[in-house]
């Protein structure tokens, strides 16, 4: 199992709108790729003072090949959609994990 985790740092004031957009627009867009078997959208419970909130989106892939297909064929468009919505408002970083 390959897990592709993207963490998002947002301001407290945009939490409701960000979560709704992720659930209603962005995650369904990603699901259309048909490359991952499950996803989790979670709020990170460890808070840091005055730095906002952190959310995590995890996509679970059954194989490295399916992840590569997603990463090469679909992720550039997804990143462009996200950037168009949240340019300079949300910081994000991604990690690729493999089930031990």
pLDDT reported for residue 33? 96
Please give the tally of structural domains in the chain: 1
Range of the domain at 83: 2-98
pLDDT reported for residue 46? 81
pLDDT reported for residue 22? 98
Burial of 71 (0-12, 13-18, 19+ CB in 10 A): middle
pLDDT digits (tens, 9 = 90+) for 37-52: 999 999 999 866 668 9
Cβ neighbours, 10 Å, residue 34: 11
0.75 cut: is pTM over it?
yes
CATH number for the domain harbouring residue 21: 3.30.70.100
pLDDT digits (tens, 9 = 90+) for 74-98: 999 999 999 999 999 999 999 999 9
The residue-averaged pLDDT of 11-28 equals 97
């Amino acid at each position: 199992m390959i897990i592709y985790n993207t963490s998002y740092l947002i301001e407290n004031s945009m939490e409701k709108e960000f979560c709704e957009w992720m659930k209603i627009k962005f995650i369904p867009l990603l699901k259309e790729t048909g490359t991952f078997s499950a996803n989790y959208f979670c709020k990170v419970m460890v808070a840091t003072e005055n730095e906002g909130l952190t959310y995590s989106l995890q996509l679970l892939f059954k194989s490295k090949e399916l992840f590569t297909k997603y990463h090469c064929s679909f992720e550039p468009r997804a990143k462009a959609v996200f950037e168009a919505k949240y340019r300079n408002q949300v910081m994000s970083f991604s990690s690729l994990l493999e089930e031990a």
